[in-house]
Amino acid sequence: MEKIGAEIEDARIQSVYDIWGKKPPGIRFCDTDVLTIAAKTDESEEVKDTFFFSLKADGTFAVNTAHRISRLRRKRLAEFLRYYNIADKVEEYNLRKGIEEWKGKKIEVVKSNGRYIFVQ
C-alpha cells in the first residue's frame, strides 16, 4: 500500500455521551471519551478516525485496562501517538493540552478497502 501525505485539520476530545445518547454496542463502560481526528490528504480526500479511551483528571489516559477490547483500543491510540512522534511516554502525555498542537501536523495515510486510514 502506498503512503500518502495528509495534514490534521481538526482533533477534539468529547464524551461518548456528547456524541451518542446511549453507548454504541461494543463500547465498554470504562471507555468514556472519544478522540476524533480529521485530516485532509494531499489529494484533498478527507480522513476521519475515532479512538476510544478514558481521560483522567490530569489529561492523561491509561493504556492498560482490565478489559481486553478496551486495552486494544487504547493501544491503538498509543501506537498512533508514538508513530507520529507526538508522545514517547504515552502514559505521561497530557492529551488534553497536547491536542491543541496537532492542527497542521503532517501525517501519513494509506488507502484500504476504498477508504483512507492512518498509518500505524
Per-residue pLDDT at 97: 95
Closest by CA position to 4, among listed 101, 108, 107, 78: 108
Residue 116's CB is within 10 A of a number of other CB atoms, namely 20
Q: How confident is the model at residue 28 (pLDDT cuts 50, 70, 90)?
A: confident
Q: Which of 44-53, 67-76, 95-104, 108-117 has the lowest mean pLDDT?
A: 108-117
Q: Which helix (H) or strand (E) holds 69?
A: helix 68-83
DSSP letter at 35? Answer: E
pLDDT at 114: 78
**pLDDT value for 47:** 92
Rounded CA-CA distance 87/91 in Å is: 9
Q: How many whole angstroms separate alpha carbon 111 and alpha carbon 25?
A: 27
- For residue 119, pLDDT beyond 90: no
**Residue 66, pLDDT above cutoff 90:** no
Q: Give the pLDDT of residue 56.
A: 94
Q: How far apart are CA 118 and CA 76, in angstroms?
A: 11
CA distances from 52 to 40, 46, 76, 117 (A): 21, 20, 9, 16
- Specify the pLDDT at position 25: 87
